[in-house]
Amino acid sequence: MQSFRSEIENPIVEKDIIDLEKKIQLFYKGEIDEERFRSLRLARGVYGQRQFGVQMIRIKLPYGKLTSEQLHRIANVSDEYSRGRLHITTRQDIQIHHVSLDRTPELWAELEKDDITLREACGNAVRNVTASETAGIDKDEPFDVSPYAHAVFEFFLRNPICQELGRKFKISFSGTDKDTALSFMHDLGFIAKIENGTIGFKVMIGGGLGSQARLADTLFEFIEADKIIPVTEAVLRVFDRYGERSKRAKARLKFLIKDIGFEAFVKLVEEEQKALSITTFPIDTTDFDSEINLDHIKEIPVVVIEDEAAFEAWKTANVIAQKQEGFSAIGIKVHLGDFYTDKARILADLVKNYAGNEIRLSLRQNILIRHVKNELLPFFYVELQKLGFVDVGYESTLDITSCPGTDTCNLGIASSTGVSAELERVLKVEFPQYANNKDITIKISGCMNSCGQHTMAHIGFQGMSIKSGNYVAPALQVLLGGSVLGNGEGRIADKVLKIPSKRGPQALRSILFDYQENVAVGESFINYYDRQGEKYFYDLLKSLSDTTNLEQSDFIDWGSEQAYEKAVGVGECAGVVIDLIATLLFESEEKLDNSAASLNLNQYSDSIYYAYSSIVNTAKALLISEGKKTNTHAGIIADFEAIFSDKIDLGVPFSEFIFQIKNNEPTQEFAQNYLIDAQLYYKKVDAYRAQVITDGK
């Protein structure tokens, strides 16, 4: 286990991986309780899966960018630590399943050799920053959003203000007003704009899917590019302080904005301006502005196209002309987002030797090869055909998005991958004309959390269960009418009705046949849906919802041979629960150490926030000892002041003491004084706690 340490060049990364290794051992010994350990490993991309004793590893790939070297590295890691399968997510990550917890530090160290991180790929932190996969090559884009997405990723990685949020926080960057990165469903969504020659963004805030979907509000119609990181920092500070922490289902930013109101939220953001680590942050785009250099390609390989019609159909459906003259991007439709390491390596060599050594993973779980010379398209077609990577329908109706569902996810209720495979088969055989249709999207999730984004689909399916007498069958909620409208606007799909899962294909047939028979010339699917109305589709599909005539096969889920049983998988070691209060106080000490370390590195804003986190954490520990709720930082601060003001003397009210953080600029002097205050506060609390324990004996 120790051998990887000497191979890590970045001391910060090395410390992170060693810390994970130590915490795993402490967890096995019962010295860290399960909840705290779960939080720690999730923040390092290690996620429990449905199967007992193994983990899912999520690899964080900002805006889905991968080089040949990185793809080779991921393939090698998957072969060594897993089963050779790579899964592309709807957030442009790659997941590897069935990994032993013991080996996760070693796996992470291997990935870091090619600058690939697991850090904050899961957990209550800033998740992978996504972006339009055509960023940098789109003919309609005002500028390339890639460097801005990269800057946000780097700035908030390991940033103390967003390490222990109440819930996850998602950020996206759309390259055009088409909003292909879906800003309306993100906590923060940025849409590229240029006003009066100035590069900037429209900013959307507070969107989200899940069981209670919410469309984002417009925070700014336009802000300059050098303001996006300060704005994001201010929003995260407010979310960290006021966001719900105890009720997981209510802990996303969208609920905070809904509860206190948009105007009140904006006011809180404005009040954070003095405390920000930076007021402007110019973003260097140099590395992204260079010309495409393909000098390594000395000659164009000669190939024979055996089926010209198939080749032309592939070019029409899967090839995108770049804004760079003479170049195209090639879309690879990846069924269910799953591909294997043998093909990944061949693909990696192709893009290195014959293209720009870069692919992007799409939000619809596909692969986009960039910077291919047009004269090389026949060669790529032949080579990709050998890999089975030329199925037409890239990002079309035939290209169904699906989460893993009950295959591996703890929360899956019904199979999403199994029904997705069958629906794709139906489309390919019975509706091949939809291979070039970009107007209708189909998305499937295995539960209400909408990881497959079914709530924003034109046609969506959500895994559920349904009763028939004393038996339970797998089911699908049919949703219709969701859409991306563009420029930050979207629609949430209507829940039409629930049907047994095995009737999903027939539901899709009914919808598409009706559409083909009744759509007006030039009418979009959304306009057709609105014209007919939700009740019309309920009546159209109602016969499929009847559960009095189910057959034996209806009680067996897609892709399974066993009778269906509704179960939420645990898939995680139970561990040994110890004194949570002691754990919290131990963490407070760690945060004080981090504050001191940051101060020594002249990272004053980081030092201040670590000290603040220590103060809040310590207050939380005492409130828990009194049986009080600790839902939000703001609530903790108010309750601590009310309960302990006469027991722990700070010279000033506790709120005034801790809120120095937002009333002072992050100078060296304030950072030093705030750390001293936090250390003295901790000593007083520790002494109080020791006395309480002594008196109670």
3-state secondary structure (DSSP) of residue 68: helix
At 304-350, the pLDDT tens digits run 999 999 999 999 999 999 999 999 999 999 998 999 999 999 999 99
The yes-or-no verdict on residue 299 having pLDDT over 50 is: yes
Asked whether residue 437 is assigned to any structural domain, the reply reads yes
Output the CA–CA distances (angstroms, integers) from residue 628 to 39, 578, 612, 657, in the order listed. 21, 19, 20, 21
CATH of the domain at 242: 3.30.413.10
Q: Are residues 416 and 540 in the same domain?
A: yes
Question: Percentage helix, strand, coil, to 5, in the chain?
Answer: 45, 15, 35
Confidence of residue 4 (pLDDT cuts 50, 70, 90): low
Report residue 567's pLDDT band, with 50, 70 and 90 as the boundaries. Answer: low
Q: Provide the residue range defining the domain that includes 647.
A: 580-696
Contacts of 413 (CB under 8 A, 6+ apart): 406, 446, 447, 463, 464, 465, 474, 566, 568
pLDDT at residue 391 is higher than 70: yes
Co-location of 322 and 360 in the same domain? yes
Q: Is residue 94 located within the same domain as residue 152?
A: no
Helices 580-600 and 668-696: crossing angle, nearest 10°? Answer: 160
Query: Which residue reads 């819930």 in tokens?
Result: 167
Average pLDDT taken over every residue of the chain = 92
**CA–CA dist 122, 161 (Å, integer):** 16
443 plus 548 within the same structural domain: yes
Task: Decide: helix, strand or coil at residue 662.
Answer: helix
Spatial contact of 365 and 401, defined as CB atoms under 8 Å apart: yes
Indicate whether 14 belongs to any domain.
Answer: yes
Quick one: pLDDT at residue 680? 96
Per cent of the chain over pLDDT 90 is 76
516 and 471 share one domain = yes
The reply to whether 519 and 631 lie within a common domain is no
Q: Is there a single domain that holds both residue 498 and residue 584?
A: no
Domain count, the chain: 5
pLDDT tens figures, 99-116: 999 999 999 999 999 999
Would you say 410 and 397 are in contact if contact means Cβ atoms under 8 Å apart? no
CATH code (residue 32): 3.90.480.20
Q: What is the pLDDT of residue 696?
A: 61
Convert the pLDDT of each residue in 641-696 to its tens digit. Answer: 999 999 999 999 999 999 999 999 999 999 999 999 999 999 999 899 888 877 76
- Token reading at 470: 């004393």
Residue 550 has pLDDT above 70, yes or no: yes
- My answer on whether 356 and 495 are in the same domain is no
pLDDT greater than 60 at residue 3: no
Q: Tell me the whole-structure pTM to 2 decimals.
A: 0.91
- Do the beta carbons of residue 146 and residue 40 sit within 8 Å? no
31 phi, psi to nearest 5 deg: -95, -5
Are 245 and 354 in a shared domain?
Answer: no
Per-residue pLDDT at 635: 95
Domain final residue, candidates 287, 314, 344: 287
Same domain, 586 and 491: no
In 10 A of CB 540, how many CB atoms? 17
Q: Are residues 258 and 142 in the same domain?
A: yes
Task: Single out the residue of 189, 45, 182, 56 nearest to residue 127, CA to CA.
Answer: 45
